[in-house]
Amino acid sequence: MDIELIKKLEELIDIFEHSSEIKKIKELKEEIKSDEKLKKLLEEYRNKSDDLYTTEKVEIKRAIINNEKVSEYKKLENQLYLLVLMINKKLNTLTGEWVYAYN
């Protein structure tokens, strides 16, 4: 691979690593991990029946999702995911149609 291209990709990764969004995601992740109330909800969710649609399990999941930190984290995570998808899509258009090397 072209050395200049590798350098540019490393610059792009560096931009991601130092972006305010990535810093915020990391910060939120640590806050979520240290939130005792949230830990308790997650533990309750894991310990409930395997049926995802019981009223109790749905209510616990709703409480987790409605947590302000979790909500913001998921929003930033989704934005980052979509950005990576857009980059991949653009890279795919540069290289043309996918060729299946393995049958």
Q: What is the pLDDT of residue 52?
A: 77
| Helices and strands, counts by H and E, the chain | 5, 0
* Number of structural domains the chain divides into: 1
Is 11 among the domain residues? no
Q: What span, in angstroms and rounded, lies between the C-alpha atoms of 79 and 64?
A: 20
Q: What is the pLDDT of residue 103?
A: 46
Is 60 among the domain residues? yes
pTM for this entry? 0.76
Widest pairwise Cα distance in the chain? 56
Cβ(73)–Cβ(28) below 8 Å: yes
Each of the 103 residues of the chain gets a pLDDT tens digit; together they read 688 888 998 999 999 999 999 999 999 999 999 999 999 999 999 988 787 788 999 999 999 999 999 999 999 999 999 999 898 888 888 877 665 555 4
How far apart, in Å, do the first and last CA atoms of the chain sit?
Answer: 25
Is 92 among the domain residues? no
Is 70 among the domain residues? yes
Per-residue b/e over 58-96, b at no fewer than 16 CB within 10 Å? Answer: eebeeebeebeebeebeebeeeeeeeeeeeeeeeeeeee
Please give the residue range of the domain that contains residue 65: 24-83
Is 43 among the domain residues? yes
Q: What is the pLDDT of residue 38?
A: 95
Is 89 among the domain residues? no
